[in-house]
Amino acid sequence: MPELPEVETVRRGLAPAMEGAVIAQADVNRPDLRWPFPANMTERLTGQQVLRLRRRSKYILADLSSGETLLIHLGMSGRMLVSGDPLGQFAHEHPQKEKHDHVVLHLENGARITFNDPRRFGAMDLLDTESADQHKLLSVLGPEPLGNDFHEAHLIEAFKAKNSPIKSALLDQRIVAGLGNIYVCEALFRGGISPARKALKVSKPRVATLVPIIRDVLSEAIEAGGSSLKDFRQADGELGYFQHSFDVYGREGQPCRTPNCGATISRIVQSGRSSFYCTTCQT
């Protein structure tokens, strides 16, 4: 599933074509994805101007001139692709319609935004913009890891009574929003912390060091266009490149990249997810 860097990469790719543009026609080609689309979705989107494109955790939010916000979740295999060349930035002609093109937005500037999702685990909804933060999917989210509300004191307080492994704690979207398996593995490696260590057993100084590490890992991944492992593509269809920089994720049995370490990367399963780490460098 795309994590924060992938979703932010898509948002940044969509913004030049979508922000300020009017949706001339919205084609909704099926009644649902992960859950049913909102009633009259075609009519509620058509004719609306996209005022702003933002992100909250792993959701893209398009604020519309109608006072509603289009919430988009990419799911496991969802892609948001731009075609056309409204601003001289996209060299992609409009492609032929594909089987899994479930929602298509035709913009007045000539761009086309296509939501393609073969596995249909993605989702879309329409929310009242003023109360969007109270939506059931957004109200439970913790602070954004790249925002000012994510800081040492917050993470230390969140971990002080957390008896679960630190890997699980960092995946808890109520503690920090948008982190997923890949980037937690990478952050814990840089922090020298075993994913199996209980969160409450990690010293305050070590917890504090995780804040800038998490920020750095996410920022580097966004700069690289995210990580393309299976389905992820940027809004222009290109691959992300951060997977070439992984220190531990997906590297089971390969040498640890820490100079003079000599160990190999191990894998354990935690809550049904693979955790990759170095048993020598991470304690």
Tokens representing 24? 């001339």
Annotated active-site residue in 11, 55, 58, 162: 58
Neighbours of 123 (CB within 10 A): 20
Residue 31 annotated as catalytic: no
Rounded-to-integer distance, Cα 26 and Cα 37, Å: 13
Residue type, 212: P
Q: Are 84 and 24 in contact (CB under 8 A)?
A: no
Residue type, 22: V
Q: How many residues does the chain have?
A: 283
Residue type, 221: A
Residue 2 annotated as catalytic: yes
Report which of 217, 216, 272, 204 is spatially closest to residue 248, judged by C-alpha positions. Answer: 217
Annotated active-site residue in 44, 198, 267, 273: 273
Residue type, 105: L
H-type alpha helices, the chain = 4-18, 41-45, 152-159, 166-171, 181-191, 204-223
Q: Are 68 and 49 in contact (CB under 8 A)?
A: no
Percent helix, percent strand, percent coil in the chain, to nearest 5: 30, 25, 50
Rounded-to-integer distance, Cα 140 and Cα 121, Å: 20
40 to 46, 67, 153, 281: CA distances (angstroms): 10, 15, 45, 55
Tokens representing 123? 């989702």
Rounded-to-integer distance, Cα 23 and Cα 220, Å: 33
Active centre residues (catalytic): 2-3, 58, 273
